[in-house]
Structure 1
């Protein structure tokens, strides 16, 4: 038994995003670290939210989400990805991180082992351990950040019960192809593993690479929880509207956890997201194109200044290979120097690792307006020279 004082004395580490954003504020730096857009909000979504506040209900919605939103999510996936999803398989949550929490609390039992793929979103491991599980890590192979299914197989132990994947990957932007997912599906079927697949960046694939969902793989269809995010699709990160999609028994288990985490999600925002998902494909293509143009401009500017920018298909981030750029392969040190000398904040990719980190890469967010990107590129070019 521990006392309250002992519990409160346990160090609570702040995330690298909080630390770098705080340094950016203190030094007046341009913040290309934290992943939130500075581009104008989509007016169609803002108008939809305003109408919902004034004309729709502001009371509790159904625990699993408005029927209209769940139907809208299913229709969006049918139109954009060719997926046939029953709305009954969808649980609307207060952001994708809550969907991850509900899924992992539903699936992880004490002393279960769960495989995470590095670099990875920093919430995965704490959520697994909060559920009583332990983590084993497998790493993507730079500079192309490929995932070897044989490495996943080698990491399996007698207590392994599941795998968490992220495609497109944050921080490096790579997309898992169908062949890789099929190999993972065969592995999960052979060992009776569940899969949580974080696909929140599926709406921000900017180079035309097709998105293959884990739910599209027959061997994974009955054992996967797919995580989605309206905040990423519409670049409205503060709305915190997400969802989990899974076969009925899995969806019921996720919903059972969700009802005691947040229970429901803001009703007017659910109505607004339902309207947004019904916008025509041309609207979604044009929305993505704003980010594709910003990425192309920053990549071209960095390349012209002598940086080596690695290829990536999705997310709002680009990755710099420091050694190939003629810089020290110490991402923490270079990130600190960028703030001190160039007044630009970036995120060291090593922060997305729990063990044996790759230290030669920096992540930059390009979801910023033209003026900010112009100035950031100018400062980064001066630093490089």
Structure 2
């Protein structure tokens, strides 16, 4: 895990970008530290690629500052920024060999002779493509072409590598393989990676830290486990993975816990993460894998959140079974149960069930950007 007290490689301060009457990026403040694998995650149209383009120098913000290694880059052209970009489309030169593609950026920096051969050779070894040095890009698979693009971008020795959904055009199996390769490459070279993606699992797997964007604003910035386990807003809870959202009213507080009333829920409580008042309407969330299912006669551990319902749907997904349960107060709750027993032992639609979970997994949500 990189040191977040390390020098700031990228500093965004009140960055705003408009297109006509649309605000694509809205007052973003963000620090990316030296040596991080940092991901910007969000749906299409949230502003993440616009943000990346401004850092690269392909567009300037209407307001705010973009600093690279402490120097304001607004107005500085891309070729004068110590930054390289890897695109989803690879953008390789089809008439050049793999070796010449990787050498291109190094040559532009004036490197020649033995030093050039060393730099290209090392980066082809890094992406495990040395044996394909004489081939043209069209003679390679999509995954191999993307690795050539990464080698070309890194060979020039940038302080910062920007990656704009680089695995988006690959099939699911190849994408997972390349994720592991990207992690290895970043770990070996130590270059700061700023990665843009709409794939939640990809961001969780790859990143040291994640910034979640929605409608041009940052919803949450944190380590993957924080963003997943303790989503700050309804948007984050719903966008990353599956989450149950329960409308509730604050009924009281007990030390470090807040007690909540929710229709059809026997008991609901959460850690007291922020100031709330009695009678305040809030939303709480719990991840489906945290929810345990019990028969009607079974008892959940004392102090756990608890409710009863009726199974509506049972979906077998291989590793786990998904239960959709109708609640007596209306609405539903989803639970995931790992398949550690025979599938024919699973519950069936119409069966009453009791559900419970440790209250430390209940998270109070703040309002989202689009609320």
Ranked by relative contact order (alpha carbons within 8 Å, sequence separation 6 or more), the top structure is 1
| Structure holding more helix per residue | 1
TM-score w.r.t. length of structure 1:
0.28
Q: Please identify the structure whose Cα radius of gyration is greater.
A: 2
